[in-house]
Amino acid sequence: MSAVWQNNGGMGVALATVAVASVVFVQQSRRRRTGKDGALILPHVRSLLPYVGSAIDMGGGINKFIRKHAARLGGQPLFTATILGDKCVFIADPEYLSFIFKSSLQKKLDSETLQKQFMTNVMSASPSEVDEIFDKDTLKKGSSHYHHYLFKGAELERSTRLVQEFFIKLIPTLVSTTDKDAWTRHDLFSMVVSAIFKASMGPLLSGSVVSDEAMQGFRDFDVGVVMMFNEAPSLLYRKSLKARAQLLKEMESSAFWKEASPLMKTRKETLNVSKQSLYKANLGILWASVGNSAPATFWTLLHLIEDETAWKACRDQVETIAANRKDEFFSLDDLDEMTLLHSAFYETLRIYQGNFTARQVKEDFVLDMGSNKKYWIEAGSKLMPFWGILHSDPHIFENPNQFQYDRFVDTAKVFKYKSGKPLTHAPVMAFGGGAHLCPGRKFIAYEVKLFLAMLMINFDMVLVDGERHPNINPAMQGIGVSHPDHDPKIEIRLKQ
């Protein structure tokens, strides 16, 4: 799971911190401009509030925040800012983002500090439980389990088949009549979250969690994740705390383990952790999967509904593939042939995936980017590469604010930085990188394509007249795929 970071307006500030604001301000203004080996000390975004710092400013939009301050600081590719007491390093040049994965720097960076904070604040893990969850042997075994069950081979095929079996049962229930001319109205985001949550639970966790009650519990919990992580006053997310307790209780039940997935059973049998550590880590798996795949499915489907040309092109391709199936199920090879839906899915991730790949700096080092560009990175600071800077760069992507469903169909296309150099990594960095590449990325992509394909071959879908395209909910940005600021209404009917 990637570390997460996001400002929340509910964070309070002790009045005592304001008293030292002027002292901190003066100290920052007198800092030397160069460090060891002539490396540039990063310019700092000044604030009169030393603890809150620039958190409120960043809450107005992370991309906007980074680009604005980089410009104000003379076009610097890196700068620092105080965010809720932490000195954070922000990166404004997409060409610099991937340095965080350099093997030569891994001993100087800590990828676990913020993940441990997430487990403590969001999953209510105690210090001893955190130690168990992040034990090297436990992490190694857990990674092996994910790759075995979710990344390749017969187990991935089995998991995908379970998803399809659920969707086959779901599809007829989405319309209220067999009359082909009758339309049924849905709240699109709610419909998608319900479908993806329930379809995911069988292969990932347990059949006992495939319920409206558990799905609503997940949604109530999800709303409070950002506030929990940032240690906001608990009165702001009481409903989320109650939902978390209920979800954990479900994971402890005999019903859960009676219908547990092979992944869950293997984790229980092989991980040397306490029961509570296991339950809380499993809740993390639930959140990390559905919390991203559901909004990604929503945005992809919404854009396809809005674009008749894109809808027709994707549907035509899906129908051609469906016509050549051996039975009612799509194989993994069939899903791989859905290149237009795959491209549309990654275009969605490019636009709406707004995550940080955060790292704690354990020791001072000089970041040498070549061409006499050296930067002094201080121990104790947090590196905050935000991939939205890459995904929205007009030099890399033509018309970056426009959804182009077929942007990634040509897999041989070379995307380039402003400097003219080709990207050294994938053009869409939605699933991490290096040793932290998400092992569930294939399962999620297959699940999204399955749902979209089965909707397309069964239904016509339109936005309700007068419905507007949602904006991104800024309170839910920075933790993965962004959520909409409202739930748009659609109408569906049996395909004409």
Per-residue pLDDT tens digits for 165-197: 999 999 999 998 778 889 999 999 999 999 999
Residue 102 is predicted with a pLDDT of 86
Assess whether pLDDT exceeds 60 at residue 5: no
Q: Which two tokens stand for residue 230?
A: 């940032």
CB 4 within 8 A of CB 287: no
Residue 95: count other Cβ atoms within 10 Å of its Cβ: 20
Assess whether pLDDT exceeds 70 at residue 445: yes
Residues in the chain: 496
- Express each pLDDT in 236-268 by its tens digit: 999 999 999 999 999 999 999 999 999 999 999
- Express each pLDDT in 278-306 by its tens digit: 999 999 999 988 988 999 999 999 999 99
Highest mean pLDDT among 139-143, 354-358, 439-443: 139-143
Mean pLDDT of 121-148: 93
Q: 215 CB contacts (<8 Å, ≥6 apart)?
A: 193, 194, 197, 198
Taking the CA atoms of 428, 433, 436 and 438 in sequence, report the sign of the dihedral they define. positive
Which residue has 């995911």 as its token pair? 200
- Rounded-to-integer distance, Cα 405 and Cα 305, Å: 12
- Express each pLDDT in 393-435 by its tens digit: 999 999 999 999 999 999 999 999 999 999 988 899 877 655 5
Average pLDDT of the chain, as a whole number: 88
Residue 438 is predicted with a pLDDT of 73
Assess whether pLDDT exceeds 60 at residue 14: no
Residue 7: pLDDT band by 50, 70, 90 thresholds? Answer: very low
Residue 429 is predicted with a pLDDT of 86
Order across the sheet with 78-83: list the strands: 44-45, 78-83, 86-91, 382-383, 359-361, 109-110
Residue 25 is predicted with a pLDDT of 39
Assess whether pLDDT exceeds 90 at residue 8: no
Q: Per mean pLDDT, which range of 64-78, 326-340, 441-455, 463-477 is the poorest?
A: 463-477
Assess whether pLDDT exceeds 90 at residue 331: yes
Percent with pLDDT over 70 in the chain: 91
Predicted TM-score of the model (pTM): 0.88
Residue 439 is predicted with a pLDDT of 67
Residue 430 is predicted with a pLDDT of 78
Assess whether pLDDT exceeds 50 at residue 441: yes
DSSP string for residues in 179-191: -TT--EEEEHHHH
- Rounded-to-integer distance, Cα 444 and Cα 449, Å: 9
- Rounded-to-integer distance, Cα 6 and Cα 9, Å: 10
Mean pLDDT of 93-100: 91
Mean pLDDT of 310-324: 97
Residue 32 is predicted with a pLDDT of 42
CB 240 within 8 A of CB 224: yes
Q: What is the maximum span of the chain, computed from C-alpha positions, in angstroms?
A: 75
Residue 34 is predicted with a pLDDT of 66
Residue 171 is predicted with a pLDDT of 93
Assess whether pLDDT exceeds 90 at residue 141: yes
Q: How far is CA 86 from CA 32, 46, 112, 234, 317, in A?
A: 20, 13, 16, 21, 49
